[in-house]
Structure 1
């Protein structure tokens, strides 16, 4: 195979791979855009040739010129319709293809030798239809090309006088699309095999993350109970060390679950007006302990700006960026704030750490890539934080950029957040409530994992709660003030059914707390009640305590 042929094959493979990754309406829009350019260029070449032809079939010449010129506004209308009504409309595609081939047929059939180069356009359009729309369209387009060649041969005296040329065109129209069809079929198979392998990886990550979260969740709760068991200073320090290690493992599993959720395509956007300061405050609060241990001072910059975005995904993005800054810039301040840029906002995180060398910066958003130099200290994590940031930013339609100078620090900026009007209803401020509100609180705890059940019950009892436990939806139980349930209870039963049964038996909307190790967005959608608190495993004891405390006051209000 020649170098030119290899290069052409590489371009074909690349084009097919791009099309396979794109949506059908994007492919149709691309074809319509090519038509907008191609039809005027074809007219500029063919019309002068026809008007200057010595073959004076006046009526056919006039009809052909009129059709070619009229097809320009038709192409514009086709493109406009695709933009306004995106989607896969086969009738619209066939209409465009039929007009394309009729246009090229007229040019070749009415003209003589001068319009022979139109055949190159015919072959290009045939291959483009196959590459954009798939094997069936390639076969149909090739059949249309053969029809155009046959009619041209019948009406064009120059073609009849040169049968060897016509045979060459027919062979080219046979061999090239057949070769491209083989490439498309192979790439389809390879693409689907790669997609299946990717989905299998995502399923494995999701299942492994969930299965490992359960024991880690239980260990975290047990250590919290152990800390309040009258230990000496040395033992308390050991418990703290265990907690820190569990926190690191918990972050790793959260990253794995985030990746598997993104790979599965289950992430749904819930764009709404949100105060940037609320998101920043939440992220600072969640990272305060980790920052304190690392000697990092988190410095949020006050802001009153509101933006249109998904608050949950924005919080996840900032959480990953701030966590990276704490890990790689220990003992240094980290600034979190935002800047107005016209009608958009840029949310930025700046640290005063060692910075990132120039050769590493193009790769930091690649999965599992870690900046490591000889003699560097070990840093927790597997290189998923910034890749998740990049993918979530793309999903939201925002841009993320990293700038760093070795020895001066790193800045990560999320830009393109549209400014929104401030909302009148500010989020209710959290109030610190006395722990005595939980004394005697009757809790029904439903959890299918025995270890997690024992750990959660022990922790609740240490806070003064009276706990009734069950591994399935209980048929009978004592009156209770609060229901805490896992979401996946086994046997196809979920926390949603558990909530319905318990509330029906209690005859009132008993407060509920749901815990889950699965995708939080999926669980929230299935619950269908935004007022039910949802805690993602492994749950931090302080987080559980805060939610139970709030529910206790609601139950006794």
Structure 2
């Protein structure tokens, strides 16, 4: 960068912006310095009008100053209207330098004229005024010392030369003072101007870095939002796809169960048992994956209410007593009559996942489900004598797809999502799950729930089969089944008939009612009898839902008709809506033996 800075060519973009900004600052600030000079010129003219000084000596530079200031006023007005473009930098800077050079020259000529008639006292006053003028101008234009220099140099030079012509000691002394003042002012203003320009350059660089950082933060924020959106879309996809994927799995489980009476040879029974086991394993894997997707997609609703742990424990005991017996494990339940404030569905899923995990990793010994009241809390615990968890893995076992024992990565042994689902459900239900474990000796998972007063004594027969289980299988009654999938209807009807039930099926409530009437007409159902239960899918097309179909059937056959809503949907509030109208929600795929047990209990 040259000292003159007459052009922006060849400069870096930041330096060009700085020089253009400094030039605009000069034209914005320095025109104001003209205003105090006008009354000073008028006062000086009034003082010398009667002096012996020839009039043209001081009138000529005075007129020159007035014309110059008028021109500057016009240019300043143009600047305020249009500003300074980069292409006009050279013209505006030359005009700025020329203005201050001519102004200094006119003041110098007037000073020379005044010194010719001034006394020694007035000479000192005039020199002091010139020094003040030079320093003031340098101060105003400190950001551009070249302009300040040209605005002071002609004045100081003319006055000094005039003083030296007098050949008087005092005049020479004053001339030296003026020259030293000019040199000192030049170096000081040059240093200040350089530091100001460096500061301006640093500010622009910092501003550029801030803009770049802001852009990068915006890019990161956008990328994060896109990633979160993609993750939500993935969860929404899995949650929505769960219905379509569960449906064929549900049909296969029904048909496999229905095939059991027709396979009599031992080899066929063994193959059928392996198929059933594989289907149950596949069902468990799907359940874990869809649980994670449903929770992440915020389709699981948390609705705490009064919950009798004894009822929940009996329901879990029926299921896991069989699983432990099949694996040769000892099963023990230590229940409690305490009630807790918790979401029944979330609590059951947490305990069920913990029990499944305990059975999976326990090869000998026992699995134990217990509950203990501790102050204002009830501690639900799942004990096992399995492989245990190493201390370094106790935090990671709740991560997605993590398995502390690599040997468990086998068919039917899961994907490492069971405890990940527990962690998500615990956060959703605002409960605390802790683990204690010794490697090779077993583990204890604890769930802490708030204690509350009982609102009703639990039924002593809850969770057990009623006396209808001992009836003649052919006298169990008619079950209405509604589903928009023909394969599901056929499979459900086959399983029901094999277990002693009659089935009236249809893909709409009207067709199901006609099927009941047909059974009465054919004599398969006594006249006057009513269906003993209704099982309906939730999604029945665009015009009606399973809850609406159940409401229509209850209108036909009585409001106390036991109803079950069988669905693979992951709608968040579906469980609460079903419970609000006295409908039991069942999730696909449903094990046929579990379906028969539920019907018997109803």
TM range (shorter): 0.5 to 0.7
Cα deviation, 1:243-279, whole Å, max 9, x if unaligned, reads 2222111111111121111111122211123233333
Cα deviation, 1:30-73, whole Å, max 9, x if unaligned, reads xxxxxxxxxxxxxxxxxxxxxxxxxxxxxxxxxxxxxxxxxxxx
State how 1:393-472 maps to structure 2 within 5 Å. Answer: 393-415=426-448, 417-427=449-459, 429-430=461-462, 431-432=464-465, 433-435=467-469, 436=471, 439=474, 441-472=477-508
Contact 2:292 2:424 (C-alpha < 8 Å) held by counterparts: no
Contact 2:398 2:423 (C-alpha < 8 Å) held by counterparts: yes
State how 1:236-251 maps to structure 2 within 5 Å. Answer: 236-251=269-284
Secondary structure of 2:306 counterpart: strand
Q: In 2, Cα distance between the equivalents of 1:541 and 1:379?
A: 19
- The structure-2 alpha-carbon separation of the partners of 1:429 and 1:183, relative to structure 1 and needing over 3 Å to count, comes to farther
State how 1:40-79 maps to structure 2 within 5 Å. Answer: none
Cα deviation, 1:458-510, whole Å, max 9, x if unaligned, reads 11122333323223443561345143211112335321232234344557664
Q: In 2, Cα distance between the equivalents of 1:507 and 1:361?
A: 53
Q: In 2, Cα distance between the equivalents of 1:375 and 1:252?
A: 14
State how 1:111-260 maps to structure 2 within 5 Å. Answer: 178-179=211-212, 181-229=214-262, 231-260=264-293
Q: In 1, Cα distance between the equivalents of 2:308 and 2:248?
A: 36
Corresponding residue for residue 128 of structure 2: none
Cα deviation, 1:349-376, whole Å, max 9, x if unaligned, reads 1211122233333311110111234798
- Matched positions, count: 389
Q: In 1, Cα distance between the equivalents of 2:419 and 2:496?
A: 37
Matched, 1:493 2:547: no
Contact 1:438 1:549 (C-alpha < 8 Å) held by counterparts: no
- The structure-2 alpha-carbon separation of the partners of 1:530 and 1:328, relative to structure 1 and needing over 3 Å to count, comes to farther
Contact 2:535 2:565 (C-alpha < 8 Å) held by counterparts: yes
Matched, 1:388 2:416: no
Q: Alpha carbon RMSD of aligned pairs, Å? A: 3.1
Corresponding residue for residue 534 of structure 1: 585
- The structure-2 alpha-carbon separation of the partners of 1:537 and 1:179, relative to structure 1 and needing over 3 Å to count, comes to same
State how 1:282-431 maps to structure 2 within 5 Å. Answer: 282-373=315-406, 380-415=413-448, 417-427=449-459, 429-430=461-462, 431=464
Secondary structure of 1:434 counterpart: helix
Q: In 2, Cα distance between the equivalents of 1:285 and 1:189?
A: 51
- Residue 378 (structure 1) shift: 6.2
Corresponding residue for residue 25 of structure 2: none
Q: In 1, Cα distance between the equivalents of 2:278 and 2:323?
A: 11
Q: In 2, Cα distance between the equivalents of 1:522 and 1:375?
A: 35
Q: In 2, Cα distance between the equivalents of 1:534 and 1:205?
A: 20
TM-score (norm 2): 0.58
The unaligned stretches of length 5 or more in structure 1 are 1-161, 552-557
Contact 2:298 2:572 (C-alpha < 8 Å) held by counterparts: no
Q: 1:483 aligns with which of 534, 539, 542?
A: 534
Q: In 2, Cα distance between the equivalents of 1:170 and 1:501?
A: 76
The unaligned stretches of length 5 or more in structure 2 are 1-194, 518-529
Q: Which moved more, 1:307-316 or 1:176-185?
A: 176-185
Cα deviation, 1:372-413, whole Å, max 9, x if unaligned, reads 347987661001000111111122222222222212111222
TM-score (norm 1): 0.63
Contact 2:278 2:412 (C-alpha < 8 Å) held by counterparts: no
Q: In 2, Cα distance between the equivalents of 1:374 and 1:240?
A: 24
